[in-house]
Amino acid sequence: MVISITQEDFDVNAMIQSRKAPEVGGLVSFVGIVRDDGITKIELEAFEEAALEELNLIKDEAFEKYPLMSVDIIHRIGMLNVGDNLLLILVAAGHRKEAFDGCEYILERIKETVQIWKKEFTEDGERWVPGEHH
């Protein structure tokens, strides 16, 4: 399992291939991508030690709530352009429902609790996005 905060991009296909196993019946991936909603790029910052601790706590919660086989979470920080990968959540389970439920749970918990801050850059300037961890 990989729980990571990094400036490096990730290879979604390689991660998926690495989690395939005979006992895995469902492998659900969520890839968050920087979208063009009036921005030119974003900058993400994190208190990495606290954010990693929170990501590991969320992973542990997901294992307690759902019968999962593996969980990977990779969250990027730094300067990202429209179209760049931002977040990967990869959940393996014996069945599709557990994999989907686990992935959705992890995504919502990340949005609620992980201390990652976002600054948006637009044609008119830049601004920190208030009231969001990301």
Question: Which token pair is 22?
Answer: 């005979």
User: Mean per-residue pLDDT for 89-98?
Assistant: 98
Mean pLDDT of the chain: 95
Residue 1 CA, distance from chain mean position: 13
- In one letter, which amino acid is 97? K
DSSP state of 39: -
The answer to whether 65 touches 105, Cβ cutoff 8 Å, is yes
pTM of the model: 0.94
* Per-residue pLDDT at 130: 67
Domains of the chain: 3-123 (3.90.1170.40)
Q: Which amino acid is located at 23 in the chain? A: E
Instruction: Report yes or no: 98 and 26 within 8 Å, Cβ to Cβ.
Output: yes
Span 41-92, pLDDT tens digits: 999 999 999 999 999 999 999 999 999 999 999 999 999 999 999 999 999 9
